[in-house]
Each structure stands twice: as C-alpha cells, then as structure tokens.
Amino acid sequence: MHMGTTKNIRDAVEKELSFDPLIDATHITARNINGDVALNGTVASYPQYLQAATAAQRVAGVKNVYNHLEVVLPPGDYRDDALLTTAANNALASNVTVPDGIEATAHDGNLTLTGTVKSGSQRSAAERAVAGLIGLRNIRDDIEIAYDADPLDVDVLVQDALDRYALLADDSDVTTDTSGNTVTLHGHVRNWAEHDAVVEAAWMVSGVYDVRDLLTVTG
C-alpha cells in the first residue's frame, strides 16, 4: 500500500511503534517530510532505541530514519561506570564472534568500544555483544578495521557478494566504487531489507575499512 501523504506516513510509523511489543512508544513522536522520518522523545533502554528505528523502517514510504531518541533509564537499571565496564568486557570476552583485544569503557552509561578487527562484521558483532546490557544508554564504536588487502580485490569481492544476495532483484542497479579500501554504494533498493543486505554485504568483506552509503530507498 502506498503512503501518499506526510500525515499518512507519520501516522503509520506511530502505529507501527505502538504495535511492536519490544517498544514502549508512550514518549515517542514521529515527524515526516517526504519520507524522511525523525523519531523524537525517550525510551527506557538501548535495545528499544535500536528497535524503534527498525520499526519505522518497516513502514511503506519511509526513505530515511533519523533516530533522535534519548535513552532515559529507569532508576533500577542504572549501573555505575565500573560495573557497566566490567559487564561489557565480560560480554565481549565470552562471545565467540568477537575477536580478542576488543575493550569497552563506560562513562555515564555510554560505552566506548576500542580495538582492531579485520572486517566490519566483526565490529558489528562487538556492538551486538553489549547492546542488551542493563544500564547501557548508547554505544560509541571506535573499533578500527585493519587488514592488508588489495583495493582491486576488495572491489571484486564486494560485487561478487552482492551478486549472490537473493534479496536483490536481477535488474538491480546497485553499483560499487572502491577508492583505496573505502566502498561507496550507489543505486536504488526497494525497501530497507534490501538496503541493509547491501550494506551488510559490503561490510562483510575483509579489507573494507569504510562503507559510504549513497543508496536510495524507493519505498
């Protein structure tokens, strides 16, 4: 179903936020300008912060989501910096998908992740490992990607990965440009599932240090 007006998209986003059982949407408002949706207000946990953006992306007609939500923890969920730092580092160390050497430091409920990995998928794994911790308000990912790879090989590997993805239509116009170890994605995707699949494919290739997302979601 096509959402033809600003009000229709905004109302649909707010209904989807209220419908999602993982989100308490009581203090969330949405604004929409031509498919660009901004989420404002507060949520009680970092997983709800992430889930709210995911819910908004599910709505037809949404092209971009700007997540301005603030995590305001309930009194019982506060953790001092030392406890949260310890919990985060334990979670990283016990997760088999996170390489050794990744460390977390907490300040006022905000975690900073540091260290070095070989791919963007490993960096994402570190974020996921700590995302559900009680007391977490936000994550700053300062993990570096370091891998000795020929940029020409990177370009071929990214394009091969995109060619394998079943979510992309055969007539997809998605293309990649590689400058050094930075991959820039161009073209159109039909929805956010396709968008996320393309970006994830690029990040999974070893040797990709950065992904510039210039994709257009047509809705």
Query: How is the chain split into domains, by residue range?
Result: 6-71, 76-145, 151-217
Give 45-89 as a 3 state SS string. CHHHHHHHHHHHHCCCCCCEEEECCEECCCHHHCCCHHHHHHHHH
Structure token pair of residue 167 = 């979510």
Tokens of 83: 């406890």
pLDDT in tens, 24-78: 999 999 999 989 999 999 999 999 999 999 999 999 889 899 999 999 999 999 9
More confident call, 102 vs 193: 102
* Cα distances (angstroms) measured from residue 108 to each of 43, 75, 76, 85, 113: 17, 14, 15, 11, 14
Among residues 61, 75, 74, which one has the least CA distance to residue 30?
61
Helices of type H across the chain: 6-19, 46-57, 81-93, 120-130, 151-164, 192-204
**Contacts of residue 74, Cβ cutoff 8 Å, sequence gap at least 6:** 44
- Predicted TM-score of the model (pTM): 0.79
Confidence of residue 175 (pLDDT cuts 50, 70, 90): confident
Could you give the percent of the chain with pLDDT greater than 70? 93
Mean per-residue pLDDT over the chain, rounded: 89
User: How far does Cα 117 stand from its chain's mean position?
Assistant: 18
Output the pLDDT for position 149. 61
Average pLDDT over residues 146-165: 74
Question: Which fold, 151-217?
Answer: Histidine-containing Protein; Chain: A; (3.30.1340)
Q: What is the mean pLDDT of residues 142-167?
A: 76
CATH code of the domain occupying 76-145: 3.30.1340
pLDDT score of 140 more than 90: yes
Per-residue pLDDT band for 99 (boundaries 50, 70, 90) equals very high
Most confident of 5-9, 66-70, 176-180, 209-213: 66-70
Above 50 in pLDDT, residue 1?
no
User: Which of the following CATH numbers is that of domain 6-71: 3.40.630.30, 3.40.50.360, 3.30.1340.30, 3.40.50.10490?
Assistant: 3.30.1340.30
